[in-house]
Amino acid sequence: MYPDPRFVTRVTTLGAGPIGGGWAAHFLARGYDVTAYIHSEAEVPALMSVIDTAWISLTALGLAPGASRDKLRITTDLADSVKTAQFIQESAPERLEIKQALYKKLGDLAPRDCVIASSTSGLMMTQIQAECMTPQRTVIGHPFNPPYLLPLVEVVGGKGTEPEAVAWAVEFYRIAGKAPLAMKKEIPGFVATRLQEALWREALHMVASGEATPDDIDNALMNGPAPRMAVQGQCMAFHVACGEGGMATNLDQFGPALKWPWTRLDAPELTQELRDRMVDGCNDIAAGRHFEEMAATRDREIVAVLNAIREARR
Amino acid sequence: MYPDPRFVTRVTTLGAGPIGGGWAAHFLARGYDVTAYIHSEAEVPALMSVIDTAWISLTALGLAPGASRDKLRITTDLADSVKTAQFIQESAPERLEIKQALYKKLGDLAPRDCVIASSTSGLMMTQIQAECMTPQRTVIGHPFNPPYLLPLVEVVGGKGTEPEAVAWAVEFYRIAGKAPLAMKKEIPGFVATRLQEALWREALHMVASGEATPDDIDNALMNGPAPRMAVQGQCMAFHVACGEGGMATNLDQFGPALKWPWTRLDAPELTQELRDRMVDGCNDIAAGRHFEEMAATRDREIVAVLNAIREARR
């Protein structure tokens, strides 16, 4: 039913803000023909400013063959912007009534085999698609700011979405140079924002109680876990740090510490099932690699990150 | 009372594990004479293995003039290892009774003007120094794993520590090539571990509820917030993302979202005082720079990080 994602050449973006403009820039950099719908012509300078800013970074990362800002068409006609679209990335304001009204229109205007993805970070697709007559092809495609730089796109459908549309979006984003994460369930905040929000809440707790300033928080992150987390997620960081025993050692030895007041935020009960999921999951990622090999890889990549930051700041 | 930290040439490390060995490697790489105390000669291979592994990365980051592994002396005699030390970095096992007994001995054996820093991540200095007769010069100097690569060292004293010792340790670590963070208060988990633990607890919640696998968690971090967090902490990420309005806009507009279930972990009350601390703190960091300048810097550095990771994985 959906077109082969490898042969998509036309993408429509909706929205002139940093997210909508960032998406337009990303798709242009990957060589697509991009139609950008904006609310009014007064938004053209803002849109072009975002694209021009993003283009500097996208060029430094490497443009796809045939990529050009000349492939951008801007329109204020919604019907015209989507009528021949092969994929739509919607980045309208984060207000439910606006999104619902928009999806009601898009449901009729966009071709039936065109997947529509929302950049929303705070709303759920089940809500957004409530008034859409063709909800089966509507999905969340949540980027991380800045959207033209960070590869993550979290993909999940609503109750009215068909699984094929989610699978198609995941495949399309991958072809389009992103790192899609197909979510298991529709939950508020998705995965990355939930992790970031947990960290953010503890940061606010520390500032509220006078234990740290915003400068302390930022320095702690930049000089501590972040350069490692950029090359190795937190699960594998613990897995590899615990040597031969891996995640099993981490949970069996440090599990009791989950009850310690190392943050104000409550940990889940460490059941046998949770333990096994964490251990099995890390072993799956390791895929037979020895921890020393993974530690050496981590170190080489952290060195590259630290040297790159130092060089960029020179 | 304490020696000029610029003229320190002799450092003693205690412990043969990944942290103790990592510290020895770091100080060797910065050109110091290092005496490494280990519990028994059987630990020599483990210690040398850590140092040799770390040396690969330290060399890639750049060694200080005069740095050499030949400046390492290993001993199993505690008194001998500390008697002429100018700084002691202790990385003994994370058990309170072991640390307390050790600091009782060190309190007598180490010169009175020699600061003793503990690598502990889970204990507080007020507890560790309880049986030490010279607690005034004992501090926490908590590194982040791997300690030879990540610059952060969180520094804080216990109830018996004098402020001069904390200030000295901060200055010494800076001279020794680390990024010290002088903590405002003695709290469990310090700053960076608390932030990481908050994130970790939400990660465990998601795995427990079947919302994400460890692979999802790690991919979300590596492709999402982490490359940005490596060059810009979370406070400034929000500050810059909100344009002209900065952190004030973030809190005034998105403050209500702190009550939303974007994580299972409770946020603090967003009082006027907390709001002002966050806003003032971000303005202090910005130091007059316009948000567009900071966004451009962020982008240039993220590009460097992403390209560095890609190059390292080739």
Q: Does B96 touch chain A (CB under 8 A)?
A: no
Q: Within chain B, which residues score under 70 in pLDDT?
A: 261-268
Q: CA-CA distance, B206 to A187, in Å (whole number)?
A: 10
Q: pLDDT tens digits for A120-160?
A: 998 999 999 999 999 999 999 999 989 999 999 999 999 99
Q: Does A96 touch chain B (CB under 8 A)?
A: no
Interface contact flag, A218 B233, Cβ < 8 Å: yes
CB pairs under 8 A between A and B: 422
- Residues of chain A with Cβ-Cβ distance to B284 below 8 Å are 213-215
Write the ipTM.
0.92
Interface contact flag, B226 A229, Cβ < 8 Å: yes
Interface contact flag, A152 B220, Cβ < 8 Å: yes
Strand partners, B34: B11, B72
pLDDT value for A278 = 74
Q: pLDDT tens digits for B71-123?
A: 999 999 999 999 999 999 999 999 999 999 999 999 999 999 999 999 999 89
Which H, E and C letters describe chain A, residue by residue?
CCCCHHHCCEEEEECCCHHHHHHHHHHHHCCCEEEEECCCHHHHHHHHHHHHHHHHHHHHHCCCCCCCHHHEEEECCHHHHHCCCCEEEECCCCCHHHHHHHHHHHHHHCCCCCEEEECCCCCCHHHHHHHCCCHHHEEEEEECCCCCCCCEEEEEECCCCCHHHHHHHHHHHHHCCCEEEECCCCCCCCCHHHHHHHHHHHHHHHHHCCCCCHHHHHHHHHHCHHHHHCCCCHHHHHHHHCHHHHHHHHHHHHHHHHHCCCCCCCCCCCCHHHHHHHHHHHHHHHCCCCHHHHHHHHHHHHHHHHHHHHHHHC
Please tell me the distance in Å from A49's CA to the nearest CA on chain B.
11
pTM (predicted TM-score): 0.91
Please tell me the distance in Å from B122's CA to the nearest CA on chain A.
8
Please tell me the distance in Å from B80's CA to the nearest CA on chain A.
31
Nearest-CB residue to A217 (from B185, B234, B313): B234
Determine the residue of chain A that is closest to B312 in CA distance: A301
Interface contact flag, A230 B234, Cβ < 8 Å: no
Strand partners, A34: A11, A72
- Asked if residue A198 lies in contact with residue B199, where contact means CB atoms within 8 angstroms, the answer is yes
Determine the residue of chain A that is closest to B287 in CA distance: A215
Residue B265 vs residue A81, higher pLDDT: A81
pLDDT value for B259 = 75
pLDDT value for A267 = 64
Interface contact flag, B213 A307, Cβ < 8 Å: no
Interface contact flag, B181 A144, Cβ < 8 Å: no
Interface contact flag, B223 A181, Cβ < 8 Å: yes
Q: Which of A49-53, A95-99, B65-69, B185-189 has the lowest mean pLDDT?
A: B185-189
pLDDT value for B298 = 84
Nearest-CB residue to A194 (from B149, B206, B234): B206
Please tell me the distance in Å from A268's CA to the nearest CA on chain B.
6
- Residues of chain B with Cβ-Cβ distance to A271 below 8 Å are 208
pLDDT value for A189 = 86
pLDDT value for B267 = 64
Helix (H) or strand (E) holding B195: helix B192-208
Nearest-CB residue to A191 (from B216, B258, B268): B216
Determine the residue of chain B that is closest to A265 in CA distance: B265
Nearest-CB residue to B194 (from A219, A263, A305): A263
Confidence of residue A252 (pLDDT cuts 50, 70, 90): confident
- Residues of chain B with Cβ-Cβ distance to A267 below 8 Å are 201, 204-205
Interface contact flag, B179 A223, Cβ < 8 Å: yes
DSSP annotation of B204 reads H
- Residues of chain B with Cβ-Cβ distance to A238 below 8 Å are 200
Confidence of residue A244 (pLDDT cuts 50, 70, 90): confident
Interface contact flag, A61 B306, Cβ < 8 Å: yes
Superfamily for domain range A5-182: NAD(P)-binding Rossmann-like Domain (3.40.50.720)
Surface of A (134-193) touching B: CB under 8 A: 144-146, 149-152, 154, 179, 181, 183-185, 187-189, 191-193
Q: pLDDT tens digits for A193-207?
A: 999 989 998 998 888
Please tell me the distance in Å from B171's CA to the nearest CA on chain A.
16
Surface of A (34-63) touching B: CB under 8 A: 53, 56-57, 60-61
- Domain boundaries for CATH 3.40.50.720 within chain A: 5-182
Residue B217 vs residue A241, higher pLDDT: B217
